[in-house]
Structure 1
């Protein structure tokens, strides 16, 4: 995967240089843009395959979901169409979670892309995160009782066929056109949440939109603090970065 991504980085680098030189040639610039877009999609697919096959949980650290959402807002705004409204609801005092920031980004990005594709005629996408305490776990999911932070992405599109809900997180399952998706996005999310000892589910009804939910276990450490509530040392910061 790393060798493949290095090749894609080279292609994207030269494509960016070519785009600058062809800024005054619209037709050629459009072709270069399509090459860059295809390369970015290939890089995304490579990351999803790597995450899907990986079983480790390296890179976990205490973090706030609000920080991840805020840092990704510019990217999220770029992937949604102009006729789609984006809303983020961030209540105060939401607990931190223990997760790999890159994996949280993948969960959010896949949820957003799925919601965007459902809104062919425009609509609204809402992102929300909130504290949830489950005393009896969650019916139908391998989720233990405890405290979680729920990240949800909702759309007001046409909804999902009930016959598809049970398979929505299966690898290579997709209701989209073949050239539009590989069917790995939501299965990647399922794998990530399993690695994080959380869970993911989809709620929908025809004509009532869809909501995708990811339950992250609560962290009792604050970001930037050690397990005893003391600030991380420079060695701790270096270890986390590595």
Structure 2
């Protein structure tokens, strides 16, 4: 059985047969919180067309992105396997479809299937690499390069050059103020690399945008390519 989500599509047939009765397709709205911070995970989420974002929420309400998840990943997996509470908030960054499975069902099957457990851990490791690269990126690279990197990664995940994103969400993802995002996005727009109007982003020149991105895009991209998790959008 083939799924749009690449992790599900990589699971062995016997494991999918065991999980299939528990899989559910759902639609999520933009901004919908799937896993609140500091709660136990009851469902694990495999995006099909939705894009999910995992953020740390500070005491004053400000948010900082830890990772973005598309068809190459799944949300709630680490807390599911460890049985610990999730310290991050998981929400739908871009509305769309995803497949859910109860966390206890997935954990039980993973503990009974070394192949499934290895696959899940491999993907979680890739996500950890991306998160670490993101920390270095936010600390050492300028906002224009970070925005270019993040837009390219979103394009890869969603498999399209046009997607809805508000400046407020972009600011959270890049880790800057909304006013900074406005100026940076306008510069990319003036160069003819992107179009941006009423919360809708269009990548007009992917190759040109890649020249504006920092090295982190290539590092994360190469990791996903090695695992066969993301199709390049040409």
TM bucket (normalised to shorter chain) is under 0.3
- TM-score normalised according to structure 2 size: 0.27
Bigger Cα Rg: 1
- TM-score normalised according to structure 1 size: 0.27
